[in-house]
Amino acid sequence: MKRDFLTLWDISPEELEQLMERALSMKAGRERTTAPLTGKSIGLLFEKPSTRTRVSFEVGIYQLGGQAVCMSPADLQLGRGETIPDTARTLSRYLSAVVIRTSAHDRLEAFAQEASIPVINGLSDTHHPCQALADLMTIREKKGQLKGLKVAFVGDGNNVCNSLIEAASRMQFSLAIACPEGFDPAPDILARARASSRSEIAVMRDPMAAAAAADVIYTDVWVSMGQEQSAAEKKASFKNYQINHNLLTNAKNDVIVLHCLPAHRGEEITDDVLDGPHSAVFDQAENRLHAQKALLEMLVT
Ligand code: CP
Ligand code: NVA
């Protein structure tokens, strides 16, 4: 029976714990070298640009002994109108799993419905669960545990924020989200996360209140891929939602700063914070590789 990874609801808290352990062991080089993907090909179908997700998957698949097959709509018949179900059924005959980055989450669900191989969400308009795996791993690596921590997310209630909400619900840390009115996370995602957990998930307008006594402060771009047309309007709404030195003074002394990247320096985060002593941003980027290797091992072998 194949297993997909479209959102964090596809994986139990216990499995998430195991996955973190495994990823941290892989990073530390404690695990014996294994090549569980030997003889297997994994598809990477990206309908949007990517630096971290595509390259870390490609490298991770190589390190696990497999072959990555990179595809974009422009070089598939999908780009000429072949249906998602027909594409999914065909690719399932060649590949052992597929990672898909697409604009609409329902395209991903339609693909997963017809595919007989695991489908992994490499970012959709509403979710970025592979990012959340690396986020959890990084917090665990830096803080030793997740339960009981306070994480502040300052910025847009977007795909990265939605997956962080699901992560908070799964792993029992409290999450304070500061976003301007009109840019709240999806209500259905919030409702499900709150119903499934006792951890506090709060949405507020004041970034200083969100950052108060925080162990982790997280942000993402104000303008996500595909939202370029509303960029000027969005940037005006978010001008007070920046991670800067002043915001950090409200957090705990040992606060860590996360950003999924790419960053728009000087907008959602200042240079001095991104490059400063509290930043764990490039460890977080590295952890994409380790967390996704552990995920592939769990889903494909
Ligand atoms: N964080 C992230 O997913 O980066 P890419 O868009 O470069 O893959
Ligand atoms: N929210 C961003 C994340 C990029 C990794 C976007 O969707 O463009």
Q: How far is the CA of 100 from the centre of ligand 1 (A)?
A: 13
CA distance 46 to 10: 21
Chain centroid to CA 178: how far?
Answer: 19
> Is residue 260 lining ligand 1, measured as CB closer than 6 Å?
yes
pLDDT bin (cut points 50, 70, 90) of residue 75 is very high
Whether residue 32 has pLDDT greater than 90:
no
| 2 found inside a domain | no
- My answer on whether 215 and 87 are in the same domain is no
| 147 found inside a domain | yes
> Is residue 50 lining ligand 1, measured as CB closer than 6 Å?
yes
Q: Which of 46, 52, 281 to mutate to test the pocket of ligand 1 (most atoms within 8 A of CB)?
A: 52
- My answer on whether 135 and 274 are in the same domain is yes
Residue 224, token pair as written in the block: 């996500």
Name the closest ligand to CA 158: 2
Percent of the chain predicted with pLDDT > 70: 99
In the β-sheet with 119-121, what is the strand arrangement from edge to edge? 67-71, 41-46, 97-101, 119-121
Do the bridges between strand 97-101 and strand 216-219 make them parallel or antiparallel, or are there none, so unpaired?
A: unpaired
Average of per-residue pLDDT across 170-184: 97
Rounded to two decimals, the pTM is 0.97
Distances (CA, A) of 178 to 73, 191, 206, 207, 239: 36, 17, 6, 5, 13
Give the SS3 label for residue 213. coil
Distances (CA, A) of 2 to 7, 92, 97, 183, 301: 15, 11, 9, 35, 10
- My answer on whether 103 and 225 are in the same domain is no
- My answer on whether 17 and 86 are in the same domain is yes
| Nearest residue (CA) to ligand 2, atom 2 | 224
What atom of ligand 1 comes closest to residue 260's alpha carbon? 1
Task: Give the per-residue pLDDT at 301.
Answer: 80
60 in Cβ contact with 296 (< 8 Å): yes
> Is residue 123 lining ligand 1, measured as CB closer than 6 Å?
yes
Supply φ then ψ for residue 101, to 5 degrees: -110, 120
Residue 170, token pair as written in the block: 């799964």
Burial 40-75 (b: 16+ CB within 10 A, else e): bbbbbbbbbebebbbebbbebbebbebbbbebeeee
> Is residue 132 lining ligand 2, measured as CB closer than 6 Å?
no
CATH number at residue 261: 3.40.50.1370
pLDDT bin (cut points 50, 70, 90) of residue 30 is confident
Task: Give the per-residue pLDDT at 216.
Answer: 98
Average of per-residue pLDDT across 187-200: 95
Q: How far is the CA of 207 from the centre of ligand 2 (A)?
A: 20
Alpha helices in 144-183 (DSSP H): 159-171
Residue 39, token pair as written in the block: 């003889």
Q: How far is the CA of 131 from the centre of ligand 1 (A)?
A: 8
Q: Which of 45, 46, 47, 50 to mutate to test the pocket of ligand 1 (most atoms within 8 A of CB)?
A: 50
- My answer on whether 114 and 198 are in the same domain is no
Q: How far is the CA of 230 from the centre of ligand 1 (A)?
A: 21
| 200 found inside a domain | yes
Whether residue 271 has pLDDT greater than 80:
yes
DSSP-assigned states of every residue in 4-41: -BSSGGGS-HHHHHHHHHHHHHHHHT-SPP--TTTT-E
> Is residue 220 lining ligand 2, measured as CB closer than 6 Å?
yes
CA distance 25 to 238: 39
Q: How far is the CA of 262 from the centre of ligand 2 (A)?
A: 8
Q: Give 118-170 pLDDT, tens digit per residue.
A: 999 999 999 999 999 999 999 999 999 999 999 999 999 999 999 999 999 99
| Nearest residue (CA) to ligand 1, atom 6 | 50
Q: Give 204-242 pLDDT, tens digit per residue.
A: 999 999 999 999 999 999 999 999 999 999 999 999 999
| 14 found inside a domain | yes
- My answer on whether 115 and 194 are in the same domain is no
- My answer on whether 279 and 139 are in the same domain is yes
Among all residues, which ones are annotated catalytic?
Answer: 101, 128, 131, 220, 260, 288
- My answer on whether 88 and 173 are in the same domain is no
> Is residue 51 lining ligand 1, measured as CB closer than 6 Å?
yes
| 102 found inside a domain | yes
Of 151, 164, 154, 149, nearest in space to 243 by CA: 154
CA distance 110 to 222: 29
What atom of ligand 1 comes closest to residue 122's alpha carbon? 3
Whether residue 33 has pLDDT greater than 70:
no
- My answer on whether 49 and 148 are in the same domain is no
Domain enclosing residue 193, as ranges: 130-284
> Is residue 159 lining ligand 2, measured as CB closer than 6 Å?
yes
Q: How far is the CA of 52 from the centre of ligand 2 (A)?
A: 11
Whether residue 3 has pLDDT greater than 90:
yes
- Higher per-residue pLDDT: 30 or 168: 168
Whether residue 34 has pLDDT greater than 80:
no
| 1 found inside a domain | no
Task: Give the per-residue pLDDT at 191.
Answer: 97
- My answer on whether 169 and 279 are in the same domain is yes
Q: How many domains is the chain partitioned into structurally?
A: 2
| 175 found inside a domain | yes
DSSP state of 267: T
- My answer on whether 293 and 193 are in the same domain is no
| 250 found inside a domain | yes
Give the SS3 label for residue 152. strand
- My answer on whether 109 and 161 are in the same domain is no
Residue 233, token pair as written in the block: 């309007």
Task: Give the per-residue pLDDT at 198.
Answer: 85
